[in-house]
Amino acid sequence: MSDPFINKVAESGLISLDLAQYIPNNEIVVFDIKPYLFKELILKEKDFRASLATINWVHFENKIVGIFCSTDAIIPMWANMLIVANLSPYAKSVYFGDENKTRELVLLEEIQKIDASSFTDQRVVVKGCGDRPIGESAFIAITQKLRPVVKSIMYGEPCSTVPVYKKK
């Protein structure tokens, strides 16, 4: 008989951390300011306020919303604030940015909420690829978050890792 199969990865004590698990399941939508501008280029306060008054904000209920402008227009700060004032009673959260930037900001916020103490003296592998795109800023944030407490940080998959940090 041959020796029993031993899963060395499972016995290694490595903790695999998939950053995608921290992306909320709430729908991410964007609010583009462009359609509310005069000739899709100029913000006229009276017209802008009137346009916002016609929006059924309930459509943003429990969604993560990114505010941006898809045209090269000068948008005064109060315009963004006015949109947020209307969105806040409905949206789960509101950010400034297109869909990708909003997703990135949400993920960074969730990483900051991680209790790093649960990783104390652990060997952590930060998963490198998956079904959902993860930007570089998230990998930077998780490294900064975990480095003070972990024994080591690696990147990749438990069967094939790249060493990033090892406590001396």
- Flag whether the pTM goes above 0.85: no
Query: Could you read off the pLDDT of 69-106 as tens digits, one per residue?
Result: 999 999 999 999 999 999 999 999 999 999 999 999 99
CB 146 within 8 Å of CB 115: no
Q: Helix, strand or coil for residue 151?
A: coil
**101-130: average pLDDT:** 93
Q: Max CA-CA distance within the chain?
A: 84
Tell me, what's the pLDDT at 133? 80
Single-letter amino acid, residue 49: R
Single-letter amino acid, residue 43: L
Long-range contact pairs involving 49-57 (C-beta distance under 8 Å, separation at least 24): 49/82, 52/82, 52/83, 52/86, 55/86, 57/86, 57/87, 57/89, 57/90
**16-21: average pLDDT:** 92
Confidence of residue 6 (pLDDT cuts 50, 70, 90): very low
Tell me, what's the pLDDT at 164? 93
Tell me, what's the pLDDT at 3? 60
